[in-house]
Amino acid sequence: MKATEETFEQFWLRYLGAHANPVCRGFHYAASTWALACLAALAITREPLALLAGFVGAYGLAWIGHFFVEGNTPLAFTRPLYSLVADYRMFFCALTGRLGTELERAGVAPRRG
């Protein structure tokens, strides 16, 4: 199946497999938090550089997790919108305690950083 034919649910399970290492996920949580903080700063200050800082900082943190921890290529390179949605889904699943169930569903074995 081509990536363009992949449903979001199929992508989601593949996304979790690409984020099996909890340290990599930690970099993503930091990236998501940074991006939300920069959006809040943009809303409060109307400073457009906050948007740039959010973009560069968030992708930088996430890519560190992929290149140096997980050892894979970010899925954002092939499916940027799905990847963004999946990143926040992972973030909120972690915050609400549902990530373990989703990782199991994706066949990702629990492991230490």
Q: What are 18-45's pLDDT values in tens digits?
A: 999 999 999 999 999 999 999 999 999 9
> What span, in angstroms and rounded, lies between the C-alpha atoms of 23 and 60?
15
Q: What are 83-103's pLDDT values in tens digits?
A: 999 999 999 999 999 999 999
CA atoms within 13 A of residue 91's CA, in its CB half-sphere: 17
Where are the chain's structural domains?
7-105
Q: What is the pTM of this model?
A: 0.89
List of residues 6+ apart from 37 with CB closer than 8 A: 54
